[in-house]
A and B are shown apart, each in its own frame.
Chain A
């Protein structure tokens, strides 16, 4: 389009917008007589205008202040609301800000939702909301998020709920391919919960992938029962120019929420009942299989029309799954998505029964696996198999090991004896916690030298500052002894090291094959993922070694395989070997290789270049650390602490007894091929 043409279009657009909506069509006909292109352009912009809602209305700073100005201290962190102490911000949504908090009375973690100010300004709505939330809090079901309290303290209205460490179905759909089994499992658990809620007379009204979470153990939870829709702004607030637009809540600001999960009766603004939830579950079920929503249009109105008028394309069009069960699943979806309520499943129990019957067929088709996996099955709902049977073995070992650790018995007796002989001279006789600070520093110094030697580095005498940097991380690990948190980065020290044990042999093999010191492979996962095979950070880095999907792909690991340690571990060894090759001579110091793992080799090289004129220039990380005031801010703030943290993790893992861990040093477990099953 040229600027001149845009002027013409704008003129028509503005004049049309100045008119009442019902007059716009005839105005366009008249104003664009003979110029169809002009007309369609203007019409499209009018539609966009009507649909745009609050698109870009909130300044970027409101949403991205933290990003723009670095870590703005969150005013709420550390404060108390009633008897809840706020620990960190989990996110923001239609419900306002959501925080992780500690319930001081019951000493448990909760998710604390603080209602937004605009919401509590409307008295009637607030009261209705509180009434519904209290009704929902009476629901007691393993697949429904437990509401602990609906309360108010110092004029802050909040809801305290169970804290769930897991992923929403939206995230699961976006990042993984959900298998038919997983899909059925999720849908069945949701139907199970809906059935209980409906029996109690409570309708959810807003079942959608964002409102369903799956925990790491496979348990599915429905969030915000009976209250999600109440929190949405009423239609009048936003509809001065376009009365038909339905405003939906969103998480992200620019992309405006979807009406895609609404039932036909909701689209028509008719009263809802439990069959509305059945419809929405049908939509979610469809999306889990097809990877896209069944009703979608270019605009909100188109989507609504689609919900009211159209049948979604058959599932077979959008999945390669050719199992006979797909056809039956299609039948379930069809029945849930009947436009006429009376033709749908009349109860969630009926839908659940059909879902279960496909499940049974799948199980029957794969009997040999089904029986062996039942140990790790969630206790509720229909029979489950964990999504990745291949990890079951290490997981079981870790679980068994942990149990025995807690009971204080010794497994791996053979390894233990050997390792204590190996490390006898180096290992302190006294527990770390009973040492004086000077002794602790001396211990760290001695152990740093030992780890360095295991990495093949030249011995370097560390200055006091460097020792203290390592000590800081050692101390913060130690502080986690006895922690009851199940949050990443806060779990009990004993738990995270126990998790490492089953992986040690695989790591040792993969790293040795690439001629990368095994010690690197053993402790990188500790600082990257704390040995959570499927951990994913906020920017999408994933797996034991926290690769970004594109890097993983370069090293031959597909996105859906990133939790597969047998694939990721060799890829990580390969990746590090490549970085070593890129670093050339500088790779003689493994501390620099570690840094480049974190920061990229170009940055390592450019940092070294900057110090070339410094006295005592030695090519290793500690020189960079000692001269960090000459390097850039990113280095000073983050990268400077990556390598010390690695050493801290390794010092603990190689001296387990000094830290109260009843395991063998990780490096001693690498010679056994596969640990014998207890």
Chain B
């Protein structure tokens, strides 16, 4: 893998911010790798490892990839946004593959002892959520981002407000409306 300097990462973030889609493709593997490394370490050292603190994780990844000195706020906010997108990509990709896996493919290799497997039910849920979220974003882009940042990025209301540069109250209202909309779009608790 090519190694990019912190300078490169900052530039990619800027490019992405200015609408360059390729920048995200380049950032994704970097961010993912970093998150993965940090997540491993967290889980090894923390006693209560299954409550992974996303914010701490993302912050650390940010410092490592972009640098800890003189962090520009805009950059950091964008990094959070990238991370949420990256996590959404990884998870939905995984869910889709899991859902459509055929005998000779992905699913087959799963043996008795593989715990890192997504259940077909969860995969179907995630794919449905992803599609509904796209539809919501079409109606109301900011609500789409609020959900992405909170659900996939693991950000709190306050952090989400910071990233989107709106008030916490606005995020709170966006969140409750978006949640109701998605819950209904996914069929509520119909069995």
Residues of A within 8 A of B (CB): 1-3, 6-7, 10, 13-14, 17, 44-49, 51-52, 55-56, 59-75, 88-89, 97, 117, 252-256, 258, 260, 292-293, 296, 298-300, 303, 488-489, 537-541, 546-548, 550-551, 575, 579, 596-601, 603, 634, 638-639, 642
Give 1 or 0 for each of B51-72: 1 = CB within 8 Å of chain A CB.
1101001000000000000000
Shortest beta-carbon distance, A645 to chain B, in Å? 9
CA gap between A579 and B103 in the complex, in Å: 11
Chain B hits for A63, CB < 8 A: 122
Decide yes or no whether B112 CB sits under 8 A from chain A: yes
User: Which secondary structure dominates where chain B touches chain A?
Assistant: helix
In the complex, residue of chain B having the shortest beta-carbon distance to the beta carbon of A642: B109
Q: Known A3-B138, A298-B190; judge A49-B104 contact (CB<8 A).
A: no
CB of B52 within 8 A of CB of A48, answer no
Chain B hits for A539, CB < 8 A: 98, 101, 107, 110, 117, 119-120
Shortest beta-carbon distance, B145 to chain A, in Å? 14
Shortest beta-carbon distance, A237 to chain B, in Å? 18
In the complex, residue of chain B having the shortest beta-carbon distance to the beta carbon of A1: B139
Chain B hits for A66, CB < 8 A: 115-116
CB of A56 within 8 A of CB of B147, answer yes
Chain B hits for A550, CB < 8 A: 102
Shortest beta-carbon distance, A238 to chain B, in Å? 14
CB of A256 within 8 A of CB of B117, answer no
CB of A70 within 8 A of CB of B116, answer yes
Which segment, of B2-10, B14-22, B41-49, faces chain A? B41-49
Give 1 or 0 for each of B154-191: 1 = CB within 8 Å of chain A CB.
10000000000000000001001101111110101111
Chain B hits for A48, CB < 8 A: 180-181, 183-184, 188
CA gap between A159 and B49 in the complex, in Å: 20
CB of A51 within 8 A of CB of B189, answer yes
Shortest beta-carbon distance, B56 to chain A, in Å? 12
CA gap between A489 and B51 in the complex, in Å: 30
Shortest beta-carbon distance, B163 to chain A, in Å? 14
- Considering the complex of A and B, which 5 residue pairs feature the smallest CB-CB distances, nearest first? A600-B104, A489-B112, A59-B154, A551-B103, A49-B180
* Residues of chain B in range 92-150 having any CB-CB distance to chain A below 8 Å: 94, 98, 101-122, 125-126, 129, 138-140, 147, 150
CB of B40 within 8 A of CB of A72, answer yes
Shortest beta-carbon distance, A354 to chain B, in Å? 28
Q: Known A49-B176, A296-B190, A300-B189; judge A72-B43 contact (CB<8 A).
A: yes
CB of B189 within 8 A of CB of A71, answer no
Partner of B103, one of A10, A65, A97, A547: A547
CA gap between A49 and B172 in the complex, in Å: 13
Given A64-B118, A254-B125, 5 further pairs, Cβ under 8 A = A59-B150, A62-B52, A255-B121, A293-B191, A598-B108
Decide yes or no whether B39 CB sits under 8 A from chain A: yes
In the complex, residue of chain A having the shortest beta-carbon distance to the beta carbon of B151: A56
Partner of B35, one of A69, A489, A546: A69
